[in-house]
Structure 1
């Protein structure tokens, strides 16, 4: 891969686990395969942990004033509120930081800045400072296609439908893959989300190119459509985490003791449950999960983040004597080394919130999914998993023990589950081939490195 060894790339992730991880992974890929020098600009809030693990990177912190509203994260589920705040409060600090970096690098020219697509304000700053801006979009291609079509502004009432409404179970006319009950989960503020999505998509189209953490064989038809809608270079070089060993950029301390416990479980026997780094559930939902896991009788590893259960610090609202009755069949931890858990021979099913990183990691290891999406892109991912790729079951009606038990039995004990496993194993093989010399992701990486070198 030909490149100028003295060029620097400046990367700027959104300050959330699901955005920081892929940006750091991309930085590692570009450093290793393009021999670019790397600077990571980051907010004070959720600054990337373990920076000493990246001695080959330069880290620059900027003020974000996020502390003014961060305490609301626990009770305000409107993601557009926080994203709008960040896109306003970071403008001046980012401009000053980027201008300073450009002044410092006379002997080391900056090739481009790569920002999270969610930081849409950065296009105007890059244009002002006359530097190319590329974007990293941390969702699947299908999610962006859905965003271009869903009626955020024209039919806002459809985002507020409940089970009592006749349209609740119907397909959305503008994007028939989705049901109205799916888009009701995407946002509680369709006006704010529509404004954010519109700004993000417009500035993606204005960028110098889009980098995707996906692979062509998974979303080939979506890539064809994206290439028509977004007439800038598109690079599908994912999955990023497959280029390197398991990521060390987790914002939460991982409990690695569970790997030795997994070693004692039979192959493909264990249900792995994790709802990600942001989702919250009620005490009643928490107990429904517990009752279902107890009754199903299979080994389970359950990640319960401190504060995940509303009104609880950790697991104090478990049913009486739950841990005693489960015994050695189950483990509850605060966080796990997820990639290693999914790759473990004992893992047979992943019950997930369907964040894109988790979905892609499950595909990478050939583990069928049970989907419990909460907000933003997660319901879109879940619909692709269950209805398009047919590699999992969507718990469409929430966390209720009978539905949970049915879903687990479907994935772990039925002919339908075997077919899901066959389909996801086939996707895993295509994914692995895409990373080999001549594969689609490998070629896309070569194209990206060459493209950045010409900017």
Structure 2
């Protein structure tokens, strides 16, 4: 009877329309669906998720009358545009969903991405509970929320001479590690709206207590709202549905099958970051000179002034032969779980970071913007599971970093720490573990609304 009652309750999900945000939101939807809830996804038309990958969900696109889709290279403009354009339309969609529901099939709550903050006010107007999903680390949440106070105290913007200085109250972050975007004056008002602790809802985190216990404790103290660290969500999801917005080239898995155990360095800078032609060339030569087998993801359009890899040095592909494999996009979770992969050169987005940690894979961190700098600092200086490439990309530094992680004693120590942390995380997701208990509390809270 309780199961039937849960199935009559609907949860409405509101993802931010970038790959790194859509993936954890749909993972959460799958987790809640497996616990008996009906799922409706209200989404932007830009980067629309594929309904066929989640046939048990209902998908409702928000009508869009804006001048065009958000530009991935201008995240701040995208944030402002989405929260402005969709506000009224979202309430109309919710009202329509409520009208269509029977007396035994009401909306239990709204769960929205932290960056789709308009959802909270609209849910409140309709007297619906709301919950926030933050797709970044707990450490990044604290760093981002602290930006307003740091600005008020005159700490930011900061001169280059202070970039290596530690940020007060945010150890081990340096000022250069803060999640600051270039358009600071446009970004801080967004931070103020999205992280106002006076109006905050309960928060779901795709993280684990054994990984971020200290940061989670600080959040609980500062916000005084229920928090639910239920990660790693990709390990809890019972279905293997893909939420990738790009076509995954699974041929790389066949190539990996031919490689020696822990010999391959996997390289991917995520779904949003860009590089110039010089950086692409330096990366290519660093990979080649390391003499390590590599699987390299180069997203089409991610290299400025180039369509794909046509700008690689002449003869590069012939020289590396079968030792290197380049794809436009890869099934990352399967790649990281493959026995041939021994290291990950990553932009350190939170999804990539937590997926790598869960497989016990040491990392070479090349953060680009936002939360990536925070994650890289924690990977290299708190969890000590990798090292960071700082400054300009240079072939010699890339080569040395790969050899250090893949073949030297320091890399072996990282691998051992990663293995131990992987085992602890697995315990957290089992019955009685911290993530298991947090998910149970979350389900109970939604049932109580």
Q: Confirm or deny a common fold (TM above 0.5).
A: yes
Q: Are the equivalent residues in 2 in contact too, given 1:78–1:189 (CA < 8 A)?
A: no
SS where residue 451 of structure 1 aligns? helix
1:24 paired residue among 5, 26, 31: 26
Counterparts of 1:447 and 1:174, CA distance in 2: 30
Counterparts of 2:201 and 2:155, CA distance in 1: 36
Counterparts of 2:65 and 2:115, CA distance in 1: 17
Structure 1, residues 197-256: CA drift from partner, whole Å, max 9, x if none? 111111x65244111101111111111111011111101111111123544110000000
Q: Are the equivalent residues in 1 in contact too, given 2:207–2:230 (CA < 8 A)?
A: yes
SS where residue 6 of structure 2 aligns? coil
SS where residue 209 of structure 2 aligns? coil
Counterparts of 2:191 and 2:341, CA distance in 1: 36
Mapped pair 1:386 → 2:388:
no
Aligned equivalent of 1:241: 234
Counterparts of 1:7 and 1:64, CA distance in 2: 28
Structure 1, residues 14-37: CA drift from partner, whole Å, max 9, x if none? 00101111111100000102x011
Mapped pair 1:169 → 2:164:
yes
Counterparts of 2:190 and 2:118, CA distance in 1: 11
2:91 paired residue among 89, 95, 99: 95
Q: Are the equivalent residues in 1 in contact too, given 2:163–2:176 (CA < 8 A)?
A: yes
SS where residue 305 of structure 1 aligns? coil
Counterparts of 1:363 and 1:176, CA distance in 2: 21
Mapped pair 1:441 → 2:435:
yes
SS where residue 124 of structure 2 aligns? helix
Counterparts of 1:289 and 1:5, CA distance in 2: 50
Shift of 1:177: 1.9
Aligned equivalent of 1:354: 348
SS where residue 195 of structure 2 aligns? helix
Residues 332 and 132 (structure 1), Cα distance of their counterparts in 2 relative to 1, 3 Å cut: same
Residues 400 and 157 (structure 1), Cα distance of their counterparts in 2 relative to 1, 3 Å cut: farther
Mapped pair 1:62 → 2:73:
no
Q: How does 1:147-158 map to 2 (within 5 A)?
A: 147-150=144-147, 153-154=151-152, 158=156
Q: Which runs of 5+ in 2 are unaligned?
A: none
Counterparts of 1:409 and 1:132, CA distance in 2: 51
Aligned equivalent of 1:224: 217
1:124 paired residue among 121, 126, 136: 121
Q: Are the equivalent residues in 2 in contact too, given 1:78–1:188 (CA < 8 A)?
A: no
2:130 paired residue among 130, 133, 137: 133
Counterparts of 2:165 and 2:440, CA distance in 1: 43
Counterparts of 1:286 and 1:36, CA distance in 2: 46
Counterparts of 1:159 and 1:371, CA distance in 2: 24
Shift of 1:53: 2.5
SS where residue 277 of structure 1 aligns? coil
Shift of 1:154: 3.3
Q: Are the equivalent residues in 2 in contact too, given 1:350–1:370 (CA < 8 A)?
A: yes
Shift of 1:67: 5.2
Counterparts of 1:69 and 1:443, CA distance in 2: 39
2:202 paired residue among 191, 209, 213: 209
SS where residue 393 of structure 1 aligns? strand
Q: Are the equivalent residues in 2 in contact too, given 1:149–1:174 (CA < 8 A)?
A: no
The TM-score with structure 2 as length reference comes to: 0.95
Counterparts of 2:37 and 2:48, CA distance in 1: 22
Moved more, 351-360 or 241-250: 241-250
Q: Are the equivalent residues in 2 in contact too, given 1:353–1:372 (CA < 8 A)?
A: yes
Counterparts of 1:169 and 1:54, CA distance in 2: 45
Shift of 1:102: 1.5
Aligned length: 444
Q: Are the equivalent residues in 1 in contact too, given 2:266–2:296 (CA < 8 A)?
A: yes
Structure 1, residues 101-126: CA drift from partner, whole Å, max 9, x if none? 12221321111011111111111111
Moved over 6 A (4+): none
